[in-house]
Structure 1
Amino acid sequence: MRRGQGLALLLFGWLGLAGGARADSCSATLSDISFTSVSPVPGSDYFANGSGVVTCTWSLLSPTPPFLLLFPNVVVCVNAGLGANSTGSNPRALGNGALRLNYNLYRDNSYAAASIWGSPALAGTPTPITVTGSAPLLTGGTIMRNFTVYGKIAAAALTGVATVSDSNTVYSSSFTGAASISYAFYNLVQPACTTGSSATYTFQLQATVVNNCLISTGNLAFGNRSLLSSAIRTTASLSVQCTNNNAYRIALNGGTVSGNVAARRMRKTATGETIAYEISAVLDGAIWGDGLSGTSMVSGTGTGSAQPITVYGRVPAQTTPSPGDYSDTVTATIVF
C-alpha cells in the first residue's frame, strides 16, 4: 500500500516501561541492476529490476524520546540520488569514460515521470516505495520488507550510443554515497522520516552495449534492352545502420547463377542462356565481392543512424542472347 512519499513500515507491539539503551535501527540493501545486451540498433526500450530489503530492529526496553516506544511503529524513506556519471539532473546517466547512456529508476513498472525514484534532495523527484507490516506484540524484534526498483533505458536514449574498440562496452554507475534511508520510530502519530536517523547503502548499475547492424537493399533493374552492343548501367540503394563507432564490412556473394564473385551472370530460366554483369561500389569501379578473386568489399564505421550506400550495376557489351527476362539473386552480408 502506497502512503505519501516514504517507505512506511508499521510495526505494532507493546513494550515495557523500564528504561534501557536504544537499539532501534533500520538498514537497507539493494541488488545490483544490470541491463544486458543493449543494442542501439534498431533501438527499443530496455528494462532491468533490482531487489531490495529494508530491515528494522528494536528492543523491548528501547525508549524513543521523549517517551517510551509503547506502540512500536517506524516510517522509512528509501532514497537515491543521481549516482555517478550523471550531470546533476534527471535522467540519470551510465558512463564509460567520456561516453554517456541515459536511463532512469522508478518505484513501479508504470515507468511514468511521477514514479521516478529519488530523494527529498533531488528536486522534482518523488521519494520511493511504501509498504506496511505488523510486529509481534509484547516483544522487541526485527521486521523485513522487500521492495523492487525498476530501471529503464528508453529507445530515444540509445540514439548515437557508441561501443569502444569494436567490442561490447559496459556503461556503469555507482551509488556509493548516493543512496540512503532515513527513518523514525514512533508511537501513534507518524512523523516525517527525515526527523529521525539515517543510514547509507550501496548498489551498482551497468548496461552492456553491443555492436549490431541492420542492412537492407533494393533491386538492380537494368530495364528493357534490344541489343547488348554497348554497356548498360543502373544503380540501387543499400542502407546500413550500425552501432555508433562500430566498424563494418559488406560482402556480396557471386549470386545463384554462377556463384563467382568475379564473373556474375543472370539467367533466362526457360532456356538457360545467361548474361554477364558486374556490381561495384563506384561507377565502373572494382568488382564488389567478398575480397576474393581480386574483388573488394565496402567498409565503414557506424554512426547509429542509417547510412545510404549506392550500388552500381553494369552489363558490359556482349553477344545478345534470345529475348526474355534474365535475373540473378545476390546476397549481401554485413560483418561487424
Structure 2
Amino acid sequence: MRAGRALASLALLACLLWAGQARADTCSVTMSDVVFAGVSPISPADAYASASGNVKCTWNLLTPLPPYILLLPKVLVCINIGIGTNATSASPRTLGNGANRLEYNLYRDATYSPASVAGGSAIAGTSPIAMVLISPNLLIGGTLNAPFTLFGKIPAGPALRAVKTVGNSDTVYSSSFAAAANITYTFFNLVTPACGGGASASFPFNVQATVVNNCNISTAPLHFGSGSFLAGPVRAQGSLSVQCVNNNAFQIALNGGSVAGAVGARQMRRVGGSERINYQLSGSLDGPLWGDGTLGTSMLSGTGTGEVVPMILYGRVPVQASPRPGDYSDTVTATVVF
C-alpha cells in the first residue's frame, strides 16, 4: 500500500510539472500614432504630442509549483522603442519628407529630459518603458490591461527653423515604427527578472508632423524729417522685416494708406487739419511703387529661410507746392501673403 501511495504522488507531481510547462501566457501591445498637428517651424514654442498605448496580458489556467503556490504569478513587460524610419539615431530622432528631415524625440514621461528618452537595449543610454502586472487570480488566471503614454516633443530653435515646406503647402513629415517597436515579457513568481528575456512581440505605430506655412512681419516708422519747402525731392528710409518658413514663397503688399487709400497716389494729412502732401513708397531708391499689384504698383516677392530677413523701405516726397507747416502723417498696412 505504501508503494502504491508513493507511485500516485509521483504521478501527480509529473502532472503538475507537465501542466506548468504547457501554459501559454501571452502579452501584446496596441498604441495610437504620435501626431504633431500644425507645427510652425518659426514658432518660438516647442511642439508636443502624445500617444496612448495599452499592454494586455493573459494568464491561462494556472498550476503554479511549490514553493510559489501561494503567490500570484506576475509578468514583467518591457516596451522597447527603436529609432524608426527616416532616422539614423535617437539623439535626436528625425522625421522625413523625401530628403528633408525634422528633429524630434520620444519620451517615457512628460519631463522630456535626456534621461527619459524612450528606447531600450538596442539604443545605448536609453531605457524601455517597464511595468509589472500581477495575475488577477491564482488558479484560473485572467486578463489585465495596463495603459501607458508615450510623449513626443519637437524643440523650437535653429534646427526647427531650417525645416522646409514643399510646394508652398503644408507638408507631412513621418516615421514608421512597424519594425522598430516591440515588447519583451517574462512571467515570474518571486524574483523580478531583467528586461530583455522571455518572449517578445512587435507592435506598429507611426509618428507624424504636419509642418505648416507661416510668416511673421514687423515694421518701424518711416520719418521724412523736417523741412520748410518742397522745391526738391525729400527721401527717407524705413525698415520692415519678414520671417517665413524655409522654402515658403511669399509676397509683401502695402495698402494705399489711411488718408488717400490709393496705392498709386499716397498722401499724408496734416495733424489737426485737412492739408495733404503727396508721397511714394518703393522697395529700392526711387524704384517702382510698392503697393498691392494694382494701379501700376508691385509687391515685393521672396522665399523664406526660416530666419528674420530685414528689408529697407524707401520713401520719397516729390516736388510739389509746399503746404501749411505742421506734422503730416499716414498709416500704411503691410501684409505678407504666403
Same-fold status (TM-score > 0.5)? yes
Structure 2: tracts of 5 or more residues without a match: 1-14
Secondary structure, aligned partner of 1:36: strand
Counterpart in the other structure of 1:159: 161
Indicate yes or no: 2:31 matched with 1:30: yes
Q: Measure, in 1, the Cα distance between the counterparts of 2:221 and 2:85.
A: 49
Compare CA radii of gyration and give the structure with the larger one: 2
Counterpart in the other structure of 1:321: 323
Structure 1: tracts of 5 or more residues without a match: 1-15
Count of residues paired in the alignment: 321
Q: Measure, in 1, the Cα distance between the counterparts of 2:307 and 2:70.
A: 62
| Between 249-258 and 37-46, the greater mean CA deviation after superposition | 37-46
Indicate yes or no: 2:188 matched with 1:189: no
Letter of the 1:82 counterpart: I
Q: Measure, in 2, the Cα distance between the counterparts of 1:232 and 1:225.
A: 9
Determine if contact 1:82/1:90 at 8 Å carries over to the other structure.
no
Residues 93-133 of structure 1 deviation map (CA, whole Å, 9 limit, x = unaligned): 11000000011111111111111110111011122243655
Counterpart in the other structure of 2:87: 86
Q: Measure, in 2, the Cα distance between the counterparts of 1:62 and 1:181.
A: 25
1:154/1:62 Cα in 2 relative to 1: closer, same or farther (>3 Å)?
Answer: farther
Letter of the 2:251 counterpart: R
Secondary structure, aligned partner of 1:88: coil
Q: Measure, in 2, the Cα distance between the counterparts of 1:160 and 1:129.
A: 36
Indicate yes or no: 2:18 matched with 1:19: yes
Counterpart in the other structure of 1:248: 250
Q: Measure, in 2, the Cα distance between the counterparts of 1:207 and 1:141.
A: 39
| Between 16-25 and 154-163, the greater mean CA deviation after superposition | 16-25
Shift of 1:22: 2.5
Determine if contact 2:270/2:329 at 8 Å carries over to the other structure.
yes
1:229/1:54 Cα in 2 relative to 1: closer, same or farther (>3 Å)?
Answer: same
Determine if contact 1:71/1:188 at 8 Å carries over to the other structure.
no
Counterpart in the other structure of 1:103: 104
Q: Measure, in 2, the Cα distance between the counterparts of 1:264 and 1:79.
A: 65
Q: Measure, in 2, the Cα distance between the counterparts of 1:193 and 1:238.
A: 58
Percent of paired sites with the same residue: 57
- Equivalent positions of 1:192-271 (< 5 A) are 192-271=194-273
Counterpart in the other structure of 1:170: 172
Shift of 1:159: 1.8
Query: Normalising by the residue count of structure 1, what TM-score does the alignment of the two structures yield?
Result: 0.91
Residues 247-293 of structure 1 deviation map (CA, whole Å, 9 limit, x = unaligned): 00000001011001000000013230000000000100111000000
Determine if contact 1:172/1:205 at 8 Å carries over to the other structure.
yes
Counterpart in the other structure of 1:3: none
Determine if contact 1:42/1:214 at 8 Å carries over to the other structure.
no
Q: Measure, in 2, the Cα distance between the counterparts of 1:135 and 1:158.
A: 47
Query: Normalising by the residue count of structure 2, what TM-score does the alignment of the two structures yield?
Result: 0.90
Determine if contact 1:176/1:203 at 8 Å carries over to the other structure.
yes
1:22/1:134 Cα in 2 relative to 1: closer, same or farther (>3 Å)?
Answer: closer
Indicate yes or no: 2:140 matched with 1:139: yes
Counterpart in the other structure of 2:304: 302
Shift of 1:158: 1.1
Determine if contact 1:17/1:68 at 8 Å carries over to the other structure.
no
Shift of 1:154: 0.6
For the aligned residue pairs, the C-alpha RMSD in angstroms reads 2.1
Q: Measure, in 2, the Cα distance between the counterparts of 1:195 and 1:47.
A: 33
Shift of 1:316: 0.5
Q: Measure, in 1, the Cα distance between the counterparts of 2:162 and 2:198.
A: 45
Which structure has the highest helix share of the two?
2
Determine if contact 2:223/2:236 at 8 Å carries over to the other structure.
yes
Shift of 1:45: 0.4
Q: Measure, in 2, the Cα distance between the counterparts of 1:197 and 1:287.
A: 73
Secondary structure, aligned partner of 1:19: helix
